[in-house]
Amino acid sequence: NAGVTQTPKFRVLKTGQSMTLLCAQDMNHEYMYWYRQDPGMGLRLIHYSVGEGTTAKGEVPDGYNVSRLKKQNFLLGLESAAPSQTSVYFCASSYAGANTGELFFGEGSRLTVL
């Protein structure tokens, strides 16, 4: 029962470095999302995808890029990391449109940018 798997779980970067977070889901979900969670801010949507080959901006997309080359994978990239991107990143997936309100989340990736 893998569900949604995120790698890596933890990462420390220096300002200006780049990295990619990988999200993989084995539930054949069409929709995938990347959120960040910060104290006092709640979960904020960075980018999302409604199907293979498609991506769209969420609430806080600046400084991030995404790709959905395969249905099961959704990659989040930081081209030039900044301390403001220190956060916990959650990937999620859902059946079409999250009509039931149920998003399936990965365990999170804790990123620290020094």
Positions 21 through 80 that interact with other proteins (CB under 8 A): 31, 35, 40-45, 48, 50, 58
| Of positions 66, 75, 81, 103, contacts other proteins by CB under 8 A | 103
Minimal CA–CA distance to 64: which of 38, 84, 92?
84
Catalogue the long-range contacts made by 47-51 (C-beta closer than 8 Å, 24 or more residues apart): 47/76, 49/74, 50/96, 50/97
Site for other proteins in 1-30 (CB under 8 A): none
Min CB(105)–other proteins separation in Å: 4
Q: Using only the alpha carbons of the chain, give its radius of gyration.
A: 13
Residues contributing to the site for other proteins (CB under 8 A): 31, 35, 40-45, 48, 50, 58, 90, 97-103, 105-108
